[in-house]
Amino acid sequence: MKLSHKLFSVYLLVSFVLLLLVGITFEFYASRHFQEIADRLENEILTVLSYELALEYQRSKNWDQFKNNPGRFELFVQTALKNKGDFPSFHEPPGPKAHPDPPFPPGKPDPSKPFRFPPHPEIALYDSGKIRIAGPELMDAELKFRPIRLHNQIPGWIGLHEMKYLPRPEKKLFFKDNSEIFYTVGMIVFVLAGLVSYGLSRYILSPVNKLVRGTRALTGFRFDTRIDVRTKDELGLLAQDFNRMAETLETYETMRKQWMLDISHELRTPLSILKGEIEAILDGIRPFSPERMESLHSEILYLEHLVNDLHFLSMADAGALTLKPEPIRPVEILKTVLAFFDTRFEQEGLTLVDRLTCDKEEISGDRDRIRQLFSNLIDNSLKYTRKPGTLTLEDRIENRMLMMIFKDSGPGVPPEAVDKLFNRLYRVDPSRNRAGGSGLGLSICKTIVSAHGGKIFAVTTKGSGLTITLKLPLI
C-alpha cells in the first residue's frame, strides 16, 4: 500500500473514532439530561396534583369519593394531568368559590418550557397519616411524597413512584430530534475530513515524492540533481540534507575523475621516460652507460615513491592504516629528522632557524609516522622555497595541544589555493610546479595528523611565504 493511501486511511480512521467518541459522549450526557427531565416531570406532576387535590378536598371536606371509588381517583389524576399537561398558565378555575383557593406550592413550572406528562403515572393518594386511600400499592422505598396543603393544614399526601428513566416515547422523540442533527453534522464532518486528509496527504507526500525522484537520479550517477523544497519542517530539513549530500557526491565524483586523471598522468610520465630510454638503448641510438642507468634508476625510484604514497592514502581511506601508539617526544624526533637534511639545506641555499623549545613534551603516537610527517614537511619546504631563503621552526603549548610551526620565506601561494594545498595531487602553478614531487606529500601529512587526533592548516601572507601549523594533543 502506498504511503499516501496509508495516511489517507489513518486520517479517516481518526475522524471516525472522533465521531464515535462524540456520539458516546452525546449519549452519556443525554442520559444525564433525561434523568434531570424525569426529576422535573415528577416535581411538576406532584405540584399539579397536590394543587388540584387541595381544591377537591376544599370542596368535598373529605376523601370519601376516592376511598369508595378507586377508579374515580385514577380518572381524576388523568384529567388533572391532561388539563395541566402543557402548563400554559395556572389561572384560577372559573365559577364562584365558597372559600379561597389554597396557595399553590412552590416550584411552579416555567410556562416557556412545556412538558407532556406520561399517560399513566403510578400515583397514590394517602391521608394525613400516610395511609393509602386510593391508587396502586407502591413500595415506600420508591415513593416520592408531596404534602397536600390547605390553609396551614395537611389533609393528605401524594405518593409518586420515582421514574428512573424518561418514558420511552419522550426518549425516542428526543433522540429522533437530535440524532438527525448529529448524523447530518457527523456526515458533513466525515466528508470534510476525507477531503482535507486527501489534500493533506498529497501536500505532505509531495516533498517525499521529490526525494524519491532525486534518489533515483543519484543512483543513475546524476549528481547535479537538486530538490526544491521550501517547507521549514522536518521534510524541508531532509531535502536540504539531500541537496548537501548530492553536492558532496558531485564534489567527490569530480575529485575522483581528477584523481584518476592525475594518477594516470603521474604514472605515464616516468613510464614514458623509461620506455623511451630503454628503446633508445636497445635500438643503439644511445649507448649504455652508468649515467644512463642512473637516470633510469631515478625514474624507477620516483615510481616506487608514488606507488607507496598512493598505497598509504588508499589504506587510510579504507580504515586499514595501522598505528603503533607509544609515548613519544615530537620535537626530539623533528630535530633528529633535521639532521638528515643538513646537506640538502646547504645545497639548496636555505637557512634553518631553530626556535624549538618543547623538547620534553610528549604525545601518544606512532614514531615512524611522525618521522614521515616531518620528513614530508621539510622536503616540501626545500622544494618550493625560493633560494636563498629561510625555514623557521617554532613550537608552543596551547590548550593542552603541542603547536609546531613551519614558516618559509616565500614565495607563498595565492590565497585561493591555501585550502587546496592538502588535496591529493594538487599543485600551485607557476611558483609551485612539480619540482620532482608527486603532489601527495601534504595530503599524507594531513592523513597522519588526523590519525593522531590533531589538526594541520596553512596560512599565507603576501610577501612572507607559507606558514604550516600542526596541532597534536599532549598526553
Q: Which residue has the higher pLDDT, 258 or 474?
A: 474
Say if CB 467 and CB 459 are below 8 A apart: yes
Say if CB 34 and CB 171 are below 8 A apart: yes
Q: Tell me the three cell numbers of residue 65.
A: 369519593
> Percent of the chain scored above 70 by pLDDT?
81
Write down the residue that cell numbers 616540501 correspond to: 380
135-150 per-position pLDDT tens digit: 888 776 667 888 998 8
Of 148-162, 191-205, 217-231, 339-353, where does the model show the most confidence? 339-353
Residue 354: the pLDDT is 92
For every residue of 115-156, DSSP letters joined together read: -PPPSS--EEEEETT--EEES----GGGEEEEEEEETTEEEE
Residue 129: the pLDDT is 86
Residue 84: the pLDDT is 63
Residue 158: the pLDDT is 87
407-422 per-position pLDDT tens digit: 998 787 888 888 888 8
SS3 287: coil
Whether pLDDT at 35 is above 70: no
Whether pLDDT at 156 is above 70: yes
Compute the average pLDDT of residues 101-121.
46
Residue 391: the pLDDT is 92
Say if CB 333 and CB 367 are below 8 A apart: yes
The closest of 292, 363, 286, 301 to 332, measured between CA atoms, is 363
Say if CB 428 and CB 449 are below 8 A apart: no
Residue 220: the pLDDT is 85
Q: Which domains does the chain have, with CATH numbers?
A: 3-169 (no CATH), 234-317 (1.10.287.130), 326-473 (3.30.565.10)
Q: Which residue has the higher pLDDT, 100 or 127?
A: 127
Q: Which of 76-80, 109-113, 379-383 has the lowest mean pLDDT?
A: 109-113
Helices 441-451 and 367-384: crossing angle in degrees, nearest 10, is 150
Residue 453: the pLDDT is 92
Strand ranges of the sheet holding 132-134, from the earlier edge strand across to the other edge: 132-134, 123-127, 153-161, 143-150
Whether pLDDT at 108 is above 50: no
**Taking all residues of the chain, what is their mean pLDDT, rounded to a whole number?**
78
> Percent of the chain scored above 90 by pLDDT?
16
239-294 per-position pLDDT tens digit: 888 888 988 888 888 877 877 777 787 788 778 888 888 888 888 888 888 888 88
Compute the average pLDDT of residues 414-436.
67
CA–CA dist 460, 395 (Å, integer): 18
Which residues, listed in sequence order, are joined to residue 363 by a DSSP beta bridge?
328, 474
360-416 per-position pLDDT tens digit: 999 999 999 999 999 989 988 888 888 888 999 999 999 999 999 999 987 878 888
Compute the average pLDDT of residues 81-90.
53
Q: Which residue has the higher pLDDT, 170 or 82?
A: 82
CA distances from 251 to 213, 224, 228, 255, 263 (A): 21, 10, 20, 6, 18
CA–CA dist 448, 421 (Å, integer): 15
Q: Which of 43-52, 126-135, 175-184 has the lowest mean pLDDT?
A: 175-184
Compute the average pLDDT of residues 40-52.
84
Say if CB 222 and CB 213 are below 8 A apart: no
The structure's pTM equals 0.51
CA–CA dist 245, 316 (Å, integer): 22
CA–CA dist 397, 473 (Å, integer): 10
Residue 18: the pLDDT is 75
